[in-house]
Amino acid sequence: MAARKRVSLKDIAAACKVSVATVSKALNDQADIGQETKDYVRETAEAMGYFPNAAAKALKTNRTYNIGLLFMDDSQSGLTHNYFARVIESFKKTIEEKGYDLTFISNNRSSAGYMSYLAHARYRNFDGVAIACVDFYKPEVEELVRGNIPVVTIDHVFNDRSAIISDNVMGMKDLLTYIYSMGHRKIAYIHGTDSAVTQSRLKSFYKTAMDLNLEIPDEYIMEVEYRDTEGAQRATEKLLMLKDRPTCILYPDDFATFGGINAIKQNGLKVPDDISIAGYDGIDIAMKYSPQLTTIIQDTDLLGRKAAEKLIDSIENPRTTFSEQVIVPGHLNEGETVKNLN
Per residue, the 3-state secondary structure of 236-271, as one string, reads: HHHHHCCCCCCCEEECCCHHHHHHHHHHHHHCCCCC
pLDDT reported for residue 60: 56
How many C-beta neighbours within 10 Å does residue 30 have?
12
Cross-strand bridge partners of residue 191: 223
- 147 near 307, Cβ under 8 Å? no
Determine the pLDDT at residue 84: 85
The predicted structure's pLDDT at residue 58: 55
pLDDT tens digits for range 217-255: 999 999 999 989 999 999 999 999 999 999 999 999 999
Cα–Cα dist 57/64, whole Å: 8
Q: Please say whether the beta carbons of 308 and 314 come within 8 A.
A: no
Strands 66-71 and 128-132, bridge-based pairing: parallel
pLDDT at residue 77 in the model: 47
**Residue segments in the chain with a per-residue pLDDT below the cut of 50:** 1-3, 75-79
Q: What is the pLDDT of residues 103-143, one digit of tens each?
A: 988 766 555 567 788 888 888 889 999 998 777 778 888 99
At residue 320, the pLDDT reads 87
What pLDDT score was predicted for residue 107?
Answer: 66
Alpha carbon distance 93, 86 (integer Å): 11
Task: Return the SS3 of 143.
Answer: helix
Neighbouring-strand partners of residue 331: 297
